[in-house]
Structure 1
Amino acid sequence: MKIAIAGTGDLARYFYTSPRLHTHNIIALARSRKTFLTKLSIEQRITDYTVSSLTSHLADCDAVVSTISAEGTDHVTAHLALLEACKRSPRCKRFIPSEWTGNIEGHPSLEPRYMHETREPIRRGLRAQSEVEWTIVLVGWFAEYLLPPGHEGRHFGDLEVGWPVDHVKKLFVLYGEGEKRVTLTSARDTVAAVVGLLESGERWEEYTHLAGETVRWRELLETLQRRDGEWTSVERGFEDALRQVEEAEESGEQGKKVETQLQLLGYTDYNCVDIGKAERQRGVYFPGVQSREVVEVLDEIEVTRESVA
């Protein structure tokens, strides 16, 4: 099977380095040639994400998976162009758009404004057609954010207020009393599940839920403290978080607006996937894929330390 991966950012690197995905023919869709893809011997097809360019590149592919995370209308335009190219392709009739985090199916009213503005037009476009099969994959939150920046298993960049774990200060910001839940799913396990979806002959559902481990924020803090007693915590009330959102809106800085809105989700169960649906879908689409729990992801830190020592 020939699978196109759209994008070359943080999440994309888990796809390009996955042994499971390399059992197939991988194509990278990129705006410019990337050295790391050359080293991995992955074919790169340079595109400006217009329909005409993508139609040419996807003509001989069987499926396309998007890892694109662009700002504003650029995100919408690129995805609708990918969809149109799939419609025109004689073969590429399966498409997984870039959503991944959160649980929009279970909590549509909680979706942050920036997500709704860039994702909802794509969902409408997908639902309005029948030529291309698609599914939106929901993971909650990627567990690799628990690894410290610079760790070989973490490709994701730093978040400030958008993520409660500060590895440098060993400080954990509790959202209120920390009783809301979050599903932490490994990006590597996510890739394995996506490959299972692509290999499956079963008809996809509109939403596919992937569940590593679901915990309360306070439980996650306790796990970190059991492993390292230097971790401390501070509670942040909802009113303080809301004030940060308002200040970010006034600043006009897109990055700050996104991160503060992400923080607000910690006071809800938006980042918790449907565990029952995840287990059922695992049995249907990727029965051989096992998702690691939080402690198994954290064990990667110790393994790396031992290998360096």
Structure 2
Amino acid sequence: MSKSNLLVFGATGAIGSYIIAAIVNAKDAFNRIAVFTSPNTLSTKSAEINTLREKGIEIITGDVTKKEDVVAAFKGIDTIVSALGRGVIAAQIDLLKWADESPQIKRFLPSEYGTDIEYGPASATEKPHQQKLKVRAALKETKDLKYAYVVTGPYADVPFFLAASKNPRGGAFDVREKKAVLLGDGKGRISLSACGDVGKFVVHTLTHWDQAKGRALKLNSFTATPEEILAEYEKQTGDKWTVDYTPLEQLKKFEAEAWEKGEPDATGLTLRRIWTEGGTLYDRRDNADIGAEDTVTLAEAVKESIRAQLSQ
């Protein structure tokens, strides 16, 4: 396959910044790399945008909701990589329609990164999955677009899983206080992905397209129990930590209350309940299929978490 011409949406977001960094690091594997961004982002994140420009990335400015802006950005592009955040996931439905109408667009990677939204029968009713499920349905209705889903499970990094939460009812690892709140009974396995690895997974998906296309790739950095993660923190800090637990039934109560009251961490609590129920444990790990086996280890992730928490 000839080298791709990429257009990336959401490149300065929480996970998009890692994805574009990995793409930049592998830029020799691509012919052209462009980023679509809004005028507001151009001004509020000027340092990040200028850094991308200095590295040879083309910056295209427009409104993601305006067809004329998006279609103009599609010129000369054959592959779309979306890293749009959860709040604007549904905007991809129009992007897909416009991409399908543009014959030069051949491939589309939607913003899937995270929990598998079709893990089992119950997944169809999970509130955080609804917009992503609509995007998958829209993608399957396109005529000519090829696609792959990069499913990574929860992000390991601070401020995600390995963090000292302001509201630790959903789990926490507080380095300064040497306190942990473990989910469930602490023995349930959870598959996690370092954010940097998520970016690498996208690159490997694009550069191993024959193996990736048409699949929901189940990818991760490592799998561990909360107790194993705590043991690594204690090993690296040299201290015994104070430990509490949020049992699954209590987590479900917190989740229900958060949705009822419209609290901002409702989505996060639902996702953590899914993880605690085993919703990141897949039949197989697909890393080897796309040559993405060199990943961050538990020890490396904890070391970075300690550094990040102590530097805040």
Q: Do the structures match in fold with TM over 0.5?
A: yes
For residues 235-283 of structure 1, give each alpha carbon's deviation from its aligned partner in whole angstroms, at most 9, with x where no partner exists: 1123322222232123223x23212212322421112344x3414xx23
CA contact (8 A) 1:183 1:211 kept: yes
CA distance in 1, matches of 2:115, 2:258: 21
CA contact (8 A) 2:155 2:193 kept: yes
- Check 1:162–1:62 CA distance in 2 against 1; reply closer, same or farther (3 A cut): farther
SS in 2 for 1:235: strand
CA shift at 1:120, angstroms? 1.2
The aligned residue for residue 154 of structure 1 is: none
CA contact (8 A) 1:4 1:27 kept: yes
For residues 210-253 of structure 1, give each alpha carbon's deviation from its aligned partner in whole angstroms, at most 9, with x where no partner exists: 12111122211212122122532201123322222232123223
CA contact (8 A) 1:211 1:273 kept: no
The aligned residue for residue 79 of structure 2 is: 63
CA distance in 2, matches of 1:292, 1:179: 21
CA distance in 2, matches of 1:124, 1:230: 48
SS in 2 for 1:202: helix
The aligned residue for residue 297 of structure 2 is: 293
SS in 2 for 1:263: helix
The aligned residue for residue 153 of structure 1 is: none
CA distance in 2, matches of 1:301, 1:235: 20
- Check 1:29–1:239 CA distance in 2 against 1; reply closer, same or farther (3 A cut): same
Query: In the alignment, which of 42, 51, 58 is matched to residue 43 of structure 1?
Result: 58
SS in 2 for 1:27: strand
The aligned residue for residue 95 of structure 1 is: 108
Please state if 1:22 is matched with 2:35: no
For residues 29-54 of structure 1, give each alpha carbon's deviation from its aligned partner in whole angstroms, at most 9, with x where no partner exists: 22231311122213222232233321
- Map of 1:84-233 to 2, 5 A cutoff? 84-110=97-123, 113-145=126-158, 161-202=169-210, 204-228=213-237, 229-233=239-243
For residues 269-305 of structure 1, give each alpha carbon's deviation from its aligned partner in whole angstroms, at most 9, with x where no partner exists: 112344x3414xx23x3x2651121112334468899
SS in 1 for 2:157: helix
Give RMSD over aligned pairs. 2.8
CA distance in 2, matches of 1:301, 1:236: 21
CA distance in 2, matches of 1:242, 1:91: 47
CA shift at 1:20, angstroms? 2.9
CA distance in 1, matches of 2:306, 2:207: 34
- TM-score when normalising by structure 2: 0.81
Q: What residue ranges of structure 1 are gaps of 5+ in the alignment?
A: 150-156
CA distance in 1, matches of 2:307, 2:254: 37
The aligned residue for residue 268 of structure 2 is: 259
Q: What residue ranges of structure 2 are gaps of 5+ in the alignment?
A: none
Query: In the alignment, which of 226, 230, 237 is matched to residue 247 of structure 2?
Result: 237
The aligned residue for residue 54 of structure 1 is: 70
Structure 1: which amino acid aligns with 2:265? K
CA contact (8 A) 2:234 2:241 kept: yes
